[in-house]
Amino acid sequence: MSLYPFETETREAKDLSGIWNFRPDSKGVGRKEKWHLGQWSESQMMAVPSSYNDVSQDVALRDHVGDVWYQRPVFVPASWKGDRVYLRVDAACHRGTVWLNGKEITSHKGGYLPFEADITESANYGGENKLVICVNNILDYTILPPGEIKTEKHAWGTITWQDIQHDFFNYAGLHRPVRLCRVPATYIADITTVPSVQGTTGSLKCSIETSGSTPHTVEWTARDHTGNTVATGSGANATLKILKARLWEPGNAYLYTLEAKLVSKAGVLLDVYRFPVGIRTVQIKGKRFYINGKPFYFKGFGKHEDASIRGKALDHALNVKDFNLMRWIGANSARTSHYPYSEEFMQMADRDGLVVIDESPAVGLQFFGKTTKFFIPEKGGNPELLRHHIEVMQDLIRRDKNYACVVMWSVQNEAGTDEEGSRPYFQAVIEATRKADPCKRPVTGVVCTTPTTDITCDLYDVVCVNRYHGWYWHPGRWTMIAPSMIAELKAWYKNFKKPVIITEYGADTVEGLHMDPPVIFSEEYQIKFLDCNHEAFDACDFVIGEHVWNFADFATKQGITRVNGNRKGVFTRERQPKSAAFALKKRWSDPSFDERMAAKK
């Protein structure tokens, strides 16, 4: 995977978003019948990007399990010959295989990270190319998130379905853009920046990976928002020093533009890449989390990439609305629960000053103690899944390492971290994560175990806990929330001596349902539930953050505990506020809130 395809004077990217030809492969015959040759006599329309599930009137497509096929013609300009040409697929959920002109050019496992195929040699320049992508949505025990295909035999027939252990609908398809890209034959393959601050000087340690045979030198320039050069450097590794640097701050982001140029020995520009970069520091000391040396209290949400009709697809209008709502309500942070979000989301967070806990798609690695397919101790865990998990963390860090908004990696959500074998498994994942990040950000994983049963939390820098007193435990009994929460939080701190973020607390709420005294599912209960939790958080000086579950209502699989999806949103799925939104806004927007949280005793 190379850099995000920003265009420059040496680079081009054609966004292939639009209506593609589409065929669900309900009988699983596509490969045998060579659908990859792209000679289709019939097909449906499909939007890219989109999940395919909710755009159809066909229940079989909504609940489809297996392959679906996408196809479209692609024009590769003749002028691109001699350069490096590649296809970039930003997200094929959950496995993608790509053919160009009938030849397989790449395949990829994992639905939330980009992958590429070099087509320099195979493209038909100055003419049409047949692009075919097969996307498979099957989840098994070798992929994140894991799942299982279940089969039940009855006298009247056999039924098969996809079982999942996570609480969001298994949307599938080409969820993010597909692009045709051109870079020069000798090009910038990757850039790594490590920011630091010394007094009023900001430093960016920059390094570059290049590819291609033309000998070259590297020139670096950092510019401010007016285009003024603030620092320069040269060589594959350089440290740029910006005097009187403006720092990237939560809610008050400042981004410089970093430019890297490859110049030939004869002084000819070979390649140039520019991207926005923020300077900030992150540190944990004792009970506090510091950004730029100031104590930071996380207030915000666990989110989802989810909306009606397009499912999990990238939607710029929706993202802008979400960022506006987060600012409106006074949130300063979010977790990309439960998978890496689009690069465009990360760029918006960088620009808007939203602090991000960047999470892997490792959700649902637990069996509630029944059996374990993940951590089988005597066999050293599930080696294939562990290998994939480590690769996903490495790819995620390669993709997101330069974003100032990312202040912590989350390696998992609610795994069975009280199960034997989970410790060596996560030890390996955490170690690989720390090794992969040039910026050495803190690492966490989100737990739902108890302070006495968890066997992994000492491996993390921050204890992140999902907790539902007054909802899953003693539903409706809100008077119990504050005392039981305080007792539990104190036990987490006593046992692990790390700052604590409550990464999930929330109550399903049907907008328009009113009950006083408060009763579960009513808007009044959601407010009461949040208030009681806040009373507990405010009483614990080691609590450094609160992320309400969830920002907005979202789709789940069908089940008797879900009435039209998960309704714990503070906003509806259409992004309208429930009453709790106003209560939260009052708490988080109070001018003294951040100071009070930082000074908690």
Which residues, including other chains, have CB under 8 Å from residue 242's CB and lie 6 or more apart? 201, 202, 203, 204, 222, 230, 231, 256, 279
| Strand 443-447, strand 463-466: pairing | parallel
Q: Which residue of the set 305, 343, 504, 523 is catalytic?
A: 504
Whether residue 414 lies in the annotated active site:
yes
Instruction: Find out whether 239 and 204 touch, Cβ atoms under 8 Å.
Output: yes
Q: Which is nearer to ligand BDP, 220 or 301 (CB)?
A: 301
- Minimum distance from residue 468 beta carbon to ligand BDP (Å): 7
| Binding status of residue 410 toward ligand BDP by CB under 6 A | no
| Binding status of residue 332 toward ligand BDP by CB under 6 A | no
| Binding status of residue 496 toward ligand BDP by CB under 6 A | no
Q: Which is nearer to ligand BDP, 84 or 338 (CB)?
A: 338
Whether residue 504 lies in the annotated active site:
yes
Q: Which is nearer to ligand BDP, 162 or 466 (CB)?
A: 466
Of 504, 546, 553, 594, which one interacts with ligand BDP (CB under 6 A)? 504
Cα angle for residues 555, 561, 562 (degrees, 5° grid): 20
| Binding status of residue 413 toward ligand BDP by CB under 6 A | yes
Q: Which is nearer to ligand BDP, 23 or 568 (CB)?
A: 568
d(CA 447, CA 367): 14
> Residue 543: left if φ>0, alpha if ψ -120 to 50, beta else—which one?
beta
- Minimum distance from residue 466 beta carbon to ligand BDP (Å): 5
SS3 annotation, 453-472 = CCCCHHHCCCEEEECCECCC
Q: Which residue of the set 305, 343, 359, 414 is catalytic?
A: 414
Q: Which is nearer to ligand BDP, 389 or 467 (CB)?
A: 467
Q: Which is nearer to ligand BDP, 67 or 167 (CB)?
A: 167
Chain residues 337-366 in contact with ligand BDP, contact rule CB under 6 A: 338
- Minimum distance from residue 80 beta carbon to ligand BDP (Å): 44
Of 426, 549, 551, 588, which one interacts with ligand BDP (CB under 6 A)? 549
Chain residues 20-49 in contact with ligand BDP, contact rule CB under 6 A: none
The conformation of residue 563, written as its DSSP 8-state character, comes to: S
For residue 399 the two structure tokens come to: 């993709």
For residue 294 the two structure tokens come to: 């100031």
Instruction: Find out whether 296 and 546 touch, Cβ atoms under 8 Å.
Output: no
- Minimum distance from residue 290 beta carbon to ligand BDP (Å): 27
| Binding status of residue 566 toward ligand BDP by CB under 6 A | yes
* End-to-end CA separation in angstroms for the chain: 46
For residue 469 the two structure tokens come to: 């007193």
Q: Rounded to 10 degrees, what is the CA torsion of 513, 514, 519, 521?
A: 20
Instruction: Find out whether 117 and 136 touch, Cβ atoms under 8 Å.
Output: no
Instruction: Find out whether 429 and 385 touch, Cβ atoms under 8 Å.
Output: no
Instruction: Find out whether 393 and 433 touch, Cβ atoms under 8 Å.
Output: yes
Sign for the CA dihedral angle at 565, 570, 575, 579 comes to positive
Of 203, 466, 522, 526, which one interacts with ligand BDP (CB under 6 A)? 466
Q: Tell me the backbone φ, ψ of residue 183, rounded to 5 degrees.
A: -130, 165
For residue 2 the two structure tokens come to: 């190379």
- Minimum distance from residue 460 beta carbon to ligand BDP (Å): 17
- Other Cβ atoms less than 10 A from the Cβ of 461: the count is 17
- Minimum distance from residue 368 beta carbon to ligand BDP (Å): 11
Of 167, 271, 322, 400, which one interacts with ligand BDP (CB under 6 A)? 167
d(CA 489, CA 468): 12
Cα angle for residues 456, 460, 465 (degrees, 5° grid): 75
Gyration radius of the chain over CA positions = 25
Q: Give the length of the chain.
A: 601
Q: Which is nearer to ligand BDP, 116 or 523 (CB)?
A: 523
| Binding status of residue 568 toward ligand BDP by CB under 6 A | yes
- Minimum distance from residue 301 beta carbon to ligand BDP (Å): 12
- Minimum distance from residue 413 beta carbon to ligand BDP (Å): 5
Of 343, 414, 418, 437, which one interacts with ligand BDP (CB under 6 A)? 414
Q: Which is nearer to ligand BDP, 86 or 549 (CB)?
A: 549
Residue nearest to ligand BDP (CB): 167
- Minimum distance from residue 506 beta carbon to ligand BDP (Å): 6
Q: Which is nearer to ligand BDP, 22 or 505 (CB)?
A: 505
Judged by CB under 6 A, the number of residues near ligand BDP is 10
d(CA 24, CA 59): 12
d(CA 404, CA 338): 20
| Binding status of residue 454 toward ligand BDP by CB under 6 A | no
Residues that bind ligand BDP (CB under 6 A): 167, 338, 413-414, 448, 466, 504, 549, 566, 568
Any idea which residues carry the catalytic annotation? 414, 504
